[in-house]
């Protein structure tokens, strides 16, 4: 048994969608969430800068005694996961897999839509996955410009969100997509808006967060790293931004916590 926390890192608030699934699946585990905040959004930043920011964040979580790290940021995963696993080789590190595989396997129309940041769509991980599973599938990729900013501003249920999201979702539907992959951890916060726009078109929304939580569970078991079954979890939030942002992380987490 190991009662040390699982570290969860994102550019901002988006990784709380993964944090939520970890809470649901692993209720006895302590979680230390680092939402950068100061440098969010990452989506259009150069790969080298993202790698530096990810290293700084993971280094902080390692220094604070985390037993496993979840890079709950698609952009940071695309830019830095190989570097992070090499530098922190003694520590299990879980990244965000592009959920292209399940979407391609389950499409009926043969068209899959992927909403993601520009850096994620340019990443080698996405290209490899798309090439492997999308041979007989048309993959429509569109960058969700402005999506992260909407979530960071708590505007995911606003008319502004509808106006930003609608053109992209309608384009994907118009091109025949019956699967829409949420390729950024901020985007599940916009899921209700996406589902409202896609209603009646037989579209399935694919969120990779539950699969990431299951992978964490596997690694905990493989490494004998689970917390004791009667452990009282400690939930902490840190940031590279200011105290107001840290409190914002905490409030958002409390709002989405499935155990509250």
- The answer to whether residues 214 and 86 belong to one domain is yes
| Residue 161 covered by a domain | yes
- For position 23, what pLDDT does the model report? 98
- The answer to whether residues 116 and 65 belong to one domain is no
* pLDDT tens digits, 241-256: 999 999 999 999 999 9
- The answer to whether residues 64 and 88 belong to one domain is yes
Alpha carbon 69 to its chain centroid, in Å, reads 13
Pairing of strands 138-143, 68-71: unpaired
CA distances from 171 to 72, 114, 157, 177, 181 (A): 27, 12, 21, 9, 14
On the question of pLDDT at 55 being above 90, the answer is: yes
- The answer to whether residues 162 and 227 belong to one domain is no
- For position 124, what pLDDT does the model report? 87
Residue 109 burial (10 A CB sphere; 0-12, 13-18, 19+):
middle
- For position 239, what pLDDT does the model report? 98
- The answer to whether 184 is a known catalytic residue is yes
| Residue 48 covered by a domain | yes
- For position 242, what pLDDT does the model report? 98
On the question of pLDDT at 259 being above 90, the answer is: yes
Which residue in 40, 51, 66, 73 is the catalytic one? 73
| Residue 35 covered by a domain | yes
> Taking CA 170 as the corner, what is the angle to CA 181 and CA 44, rounded to the nearest 5 degrees?
55
- DSSP per residue over 31-68, as a string? EEEEE--SS---TTS-HHHHHHHHHHHHHHHHHTT-SE
Confidence bin at 188 (pLDDT 50/70/90): very high
Number of domains the chain contains? 2
| Residue 248 covered by a domain | yes
Q: Which domain holds residue 76?
A: 6-96+209-256
Which residue in 40, 66, 104, 184 is the catalytic one? 184
- For position 248, what pLDDT does the model report? 98
- The answer to whether 51 is a known catalytic residue is no
> Any idea what the CATH number is for the domain that residue 221 is in?
3.40.50.1860
- For position 123, what pLDDT does the model report? 84
* pLDDT tens digits, 192-237: 999 999 999 999 999 999 999 999 999 999 999 999 999 999 999 9
* pLDDT tens digits, 77-117: 999 999 999 999 999 999 998 799 999 999 999 999 999 99
Alpha carbon 47 to its chain centroid, in Å, reads 18
On the question of pLDDT at 1 being above 90, the answer is: no
Identify the domain boundary among 183, 206, 229: 206
- The answer to whether residues 172 and 130 belong to one domain is yes
| Residue 1 covered by a domain | no
């Amino acid at each position: 048994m190991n009662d040390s926390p699982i570290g969860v890192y994102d550019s901002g608030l988006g990784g709380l969608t993964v944090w939520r699934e970890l809470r649901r699946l692993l209720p006895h585990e302590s979680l230390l969430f680092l939402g950068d905040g100061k440098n969010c959004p990452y989506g259009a930043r150069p790969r080298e800068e993202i790698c530096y920011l990810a290293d700084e964040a993971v280094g902080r979580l390692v220094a604070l005694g985390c037993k496993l790290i979840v890079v709950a940021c698609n952009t940071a995963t695309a830019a830095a996961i190989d570097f992070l696993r090499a530098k922190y080789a003694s520590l299990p590190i879980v990244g965000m897999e592009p959920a292209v595989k399940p979407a391609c396997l389950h499409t009926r129309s043969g068209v899959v839509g992927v909403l993601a940041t520009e850096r994620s769509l340019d990443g080698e991980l996405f290209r490899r996955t798309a090439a492997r599973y999308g041979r007989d599938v048309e993959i429509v990729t569109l960058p969700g410009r402005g999506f992260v900013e909407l979530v960071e501003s708590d505007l995911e249920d606003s008319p502004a969100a509808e106006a930003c999201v609608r053109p992209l979702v309608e384009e994907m539907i118009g091109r025949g997509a019956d699967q829409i992959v949420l390729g950024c951890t901020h985007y599940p916060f916009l899921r209700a808006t996406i589902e409202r726009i896609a209603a009646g078109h037989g579209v399935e929304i694919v969120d990779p967060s539950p699969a990431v939580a299951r992978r964490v569970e596997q690694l905990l078991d493989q490494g004998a790293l689970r917390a004791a079954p009667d452990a009282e979890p400690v939930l902490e939030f840190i940031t590279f931004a200011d105290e107001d942002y840290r409190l914002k992380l905490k409030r958002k987490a409390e709002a989405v916590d499935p155990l509250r």
